[in-house]
């Protein structure tokens, strides 16, 4: 390798283990232990799931956290927060107020709701500096189509007797009317919903069928929830078939249909705010990673997004230098907790923590140690001749 390299470290979180910024720090420590003269830039990334707010807080100078107590998905108060960026953007992470981990072991597929998300959105709207809201949609506990959030913002969801329905996706089976006259308007620059899935609202690829089981829904409950979401769509309108409409139990659909939110790929949006494209334009290589690399990693996830940006940055750099696009591309190194699929040819080398540690339990017991070891191993190798996956 060159005497001195410019290395960008842009991992996702390793779910259930370390946040993205902790992963980036461990990888940087390992790399610099073997190549102390290299210039290393830490740029943790996220795809809209849990931890995205922390990535924004790390990436954007001047970001300010605002603590709020909201109603959690099971009806108990939870401590949450939203993030104010200097440009007037508010970042609201659904998982902070309405996330599945907030229920502990008490799954409630029919009664869990997004009221806490709505209360976080209301808190952000109450700040006169808020001009735009970014909502990160991963990690939802419910399948309520964001009706809990919208109700917290002033919408009314009524049964055939005109009474307001209780929160939760199961209650939507009795939905007869929707009243949006009291719904608070979105901020002037609108709302972006960051998604890491392209699921539609309903059907075999929809919110209930695909994500209901992890929220505790059995076959009968999935059928009920899917029918309830169809009922909501028939009354609320919008585009239930849009990519990402099924994200977070249909929250993507509800916020788009009722509030005009735009559904956008989470990884690309976070990367832009973090300054990843600009950093890659000057990089000699990039290290990315996630807890498990598999076939889904290239479809809207952080690793796939980094690979795409690295390829574009390499082509742009080669063109600017007059070298043409042939063979261009910023080399990518991959560190994953587990490798469930063979990385693409663009990945110059990869390491699985489970392989280094001698198994998944050992890797999970001390992930920082093995991340550091993985990066040191990559930094010590001659990557110019390494085949993909080695």
What's the mean pLDDT in 222-248? 97
Q: Does position 177 have pLDDT exceeding 90, yes or no?
A: yes
What's the mean pLDDT in 132-145? 95
Phi then psi for residue 370, to 5 deg, are: -80, -30
CATH topology of domain 6-43+275-385: Rossmann fold (3.40.50)
SS3 84: strand
6-43+275-385 with 52-266: one CATH topology? no
Q: Is residue 256 classed exposed, middle or buried when 0-12, 13-18 and 19+ CB atoms within 10 A define those classes?
A: buried
pLDDT at 138: 87
Higher-pLDDT residue of 304 and 231 is 231
pLDDT at 248: 95
Q: Does position 364 have pLDDT exceeding 80, yes or no?
A: yes
Q: What number of residues does the chain have?
A: 390
pLDDT at 2: 53
Q: Does position 388 have pLDDT exceeding 50, yes or no?
A: no
Handedness of CA 379, 359, 101, 291 (dihedral sign): positive
* Tokens coding 37: 């003269």
- Residue 336, beta-bridge partner list: 290, 352
What's the mean pLDDT in 35-60? 90
List all residues 6 or more positions away from 80 whose beta carbon is below 8 Å from its beta carbon.
Answer: 67, 68, 69, 70, 96, 97, 116, 120
CATH topology of domain 52-266: Glycerate kinase, domain 2 (3.90.1510)
pLDDT at 9: 97
What's the mean pLDDT in 32-50? 91
Taking the CA atoms of residue 347, residue 349, residue 355 and residue 360 in that order, the dihedral angle to the nearest 10 degrees is -30
Q: Does position 385 have pLDDT exceeding 70, yes or no?
A: no
- Domain coordinates of the chain in residue numbers? 6-43+275-385, 52-266
Instruction: Among 148-162, 186-200, 302-316, name the one with the lowest average pLDDT.
Output: 302-316
The pLDDT > 70 percentage for the chain reads 93
C-alpha atoms less than 13 angstroms from C-alpha of 156 in its C-beta half-sphere: 10
* Tokens coding 18: 């370390």
Cα 76 from Cα 18, distance rounded (Å): 26
Cα 48 from Cα 63, distance rounded (Å): 17
Residues 185-217 pLDDT 10s: 999 999 999 998 889 999 999 999 999 999 999
Q: Does position 48 have pLDDT exceeding 90, yes or no?
A: no
The pLDDT confidence band at residue 141, using thresholds 50, 70 and 90, is: very high
pLDDT at 314: 58
pLDDT at 328: 59
Higher-pLDDT residue of 30 and 105 is 30
Cα 226 from Cα 90, distance rounded (Å): 31
What's the mean pLDDT in 100-125? 95
Contact 136/49 with Cβ under 8 angstroms? yes
Cα 360 from Cα 17, distance rounded (Å): 12
What's the mean pLDDT in 341-358? 93
| Start-end of H helices in the chain | 20-34, 52-59, 94-98, 115-126, 147-152, 207-211, 219-236, 247-259, 266-274, 276-281, 302-320, 353-357, 360-365, 367-380
Contact 77/111 with Cβ under 8 angstroms? no
Contact 247/135 with Cβ under 8 angstroms? no
Q: Does position 280 have pLDDT exceeding 70, yes or no?
A: yes
Q: Is residue 211 classed exposed, middle or buried when 0-12, 13-18 and 19+ CB atoms within 10 A define those classes?
A: buried
Q: Does position 386 have pLDDT exceeding 60, yes or no?
A: no
Cα 129 from Cα 90, distance rounded (Å): 9
pLDDT at 387: 37
Q: Does position 322 have pLDDT exceeding 70, yes or no?
A: no
The pLDDT confidence band at residue 116, using thresholds 50, 70 and 90, is: very high
Cα 350 from Cα 347, distance rounded (Å): 7
Q: What does the mean pLDDT of the chain come to? A: 91
Rounded to a whole number, what is the largest CA-CA distance in the chain?
75
């Amino acid at each position: 390798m060159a005497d001195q390299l410019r290395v960008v470290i842009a991992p996702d979180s390793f779910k259930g283990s370390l946040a993205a910024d902790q992963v980036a720090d461990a990888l940087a420590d390992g790399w610099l232990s073997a190549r102390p003269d290299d210039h290393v830039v830490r740029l943790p990334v996220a795809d809209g799931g849990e931890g995205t707010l922390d990535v924004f807080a790390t990436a954007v100078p001047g970001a300010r956290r605002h603590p709020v107590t909201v109603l959690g998905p099971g009806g108990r108060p939870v401590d949450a927060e939203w993030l104010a960026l200097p440009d007037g953007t508010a970042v609201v992470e659904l998982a902070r107020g309405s996330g599945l981990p907030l229920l502990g072991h008490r799954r409630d597929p029919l009664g869990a709701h997004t009221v806490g998300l709505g209360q976080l959105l209301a808190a952000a709207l109450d700040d006169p500096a808020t001009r735009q809201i970014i909502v990160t949609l991963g990690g939802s506990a419910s399948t309520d189509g964001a009706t809990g959030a919208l109700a917290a913002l002033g919408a009314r969801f009524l049964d055939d007797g005109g009474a307001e329905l209780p929160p939760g996706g199961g209650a939507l089976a009795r939905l007869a009317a929707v009243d949006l006259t009291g719904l608070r308007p979105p901020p002037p620059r609108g709302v972006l919903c960051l998604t890491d899935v392209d699921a539609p609202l309903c059907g075999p690829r929809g919110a209930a069928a695909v994500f209901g089981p992890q929220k505790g829904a059995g076959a009968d409950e999935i059928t009920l929830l899917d029918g309830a979401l169809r009922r909501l769509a028939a009354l609320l309108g919008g585009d239930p078939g849009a990519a990402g409409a099924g994200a977070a139990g249909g929250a993507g659909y509800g916020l788009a249909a009722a509030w005009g939110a735009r559904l956008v790929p989470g990884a690309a949006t976070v990367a832009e705010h973090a300054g990843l494209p600009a950093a890659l334009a000057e990089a000699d290589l990039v290290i990315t990673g996630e807890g498990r690399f598999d076939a889904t990693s290239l479809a809207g996830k952080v690793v796939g997004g980094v690979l795409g940006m690295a390829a574009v940055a390499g082509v742009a750099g080669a063109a600017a230098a007059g070298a043409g696009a042939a063979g261009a591309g910023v080399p990518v190194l991959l560190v994953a907790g587990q490798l469930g699929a063979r990385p693409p040819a663009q990945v110059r080398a990869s390491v699985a923590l489970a392989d280094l540690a001698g198994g998944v339990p050992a890797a999970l017991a001390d992930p920082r140690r093995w991340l550091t070891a993985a990066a040191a191993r990559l930094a010590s190798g001659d990557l110019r001749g390494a085949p993909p996956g080695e």
